[in-house]
Amino acid sequence: MQRTIAQLQQEIQSGESVIQEGIRYIQVACVRVTYLPAELQLFEAYQILDQGDTRKRDLAGVSEKLKSGEEPIQAAMRGIREELDLTLSSDRFLSLGTELCQKISKGYNLPTVYTLHKFSLELNQEEFDRIAPIYISQEADKTTVFKWMPITPITLTPASLTQLQTSPLSDRPCP
């Protein structure tokens, strides 16, 4: 789904992205949301845009672009509040580090460098019950559908670990 120049200008004005020498730079807080008693992880399944188009997402967890001057933990907390209607304290979020990756953005067809600030959040029974089995988030310009899926472990071979550690930024795919 292509985005418009006006949307890109709005993103730049709000401080969500910067363009330098034709490359778009954004910072994103990515929150892996789990409910461990049932071994489930939350996924953003798809979005229904205000024009009626559906955009398949299949993103693990909740992601929010950082706004100008915002700390990653603040963006993570804001994302959970805005997307899932849960207001949680910062001590509930476990930082998993930061990762850089680069790819052509689908929305703007621009080379984009992503700084991904990763967090993990485990929900308790009451929080899980509020958003299970499917959660629908309504916003002015879109409806986002979240679903719970079984947690699947990630298996990395020694060769893939070496490749991740030695690959230049331009070769690193974004998750």
Report the alpha-carbon distance of residue 151 to residue 41 in Å, rounded.
Answer: 5
Q: Which of residues 49 and 126 earns the better pLDDT score?
A: 126
- Tell me how far the alpha carbon of residue 137 is from its chain's centroid: 15
Number of domains in the chain: 1
Give the domain CATH number at 94: 3.90.79.10
Q: What is the reported pTM?
A: 0.82
CB-facing half-sphere around the CA of 20: CA atoms within 13 A: 5
Give the torsion through C-alpha atoms of 139, 124, 74, 118, to 10 deg.
Answer: -100
Whose CA is closest to 93, among 50, 123, 65? 123
pLDDT average, residue stretch 98-114: 91
pLDDT band at 127 (very low <50, low <70, confident <90, very high): very high
**Confidence check: pLDDT of 73 > 60:** yes
pLDDT band at 165 (very low <50, low <70, confident <90, very high): very low
Higher pLDDT, 70 or 165: 70
Segment 9-63, tens digit of pLDDT: 999 999 999 999 999 999 999 999 999 999 999 999 998 988 888 888 878 889 9
pLDDT at residue 162 greater than cutoff 50 = no
Which residue range forms the structural domain that includes residue 41?
A: 5-171
Q: What is the pLDDT of residue 118?
A: 95
Q: What is the mean pLDDT of residues 52-80?
A: 91
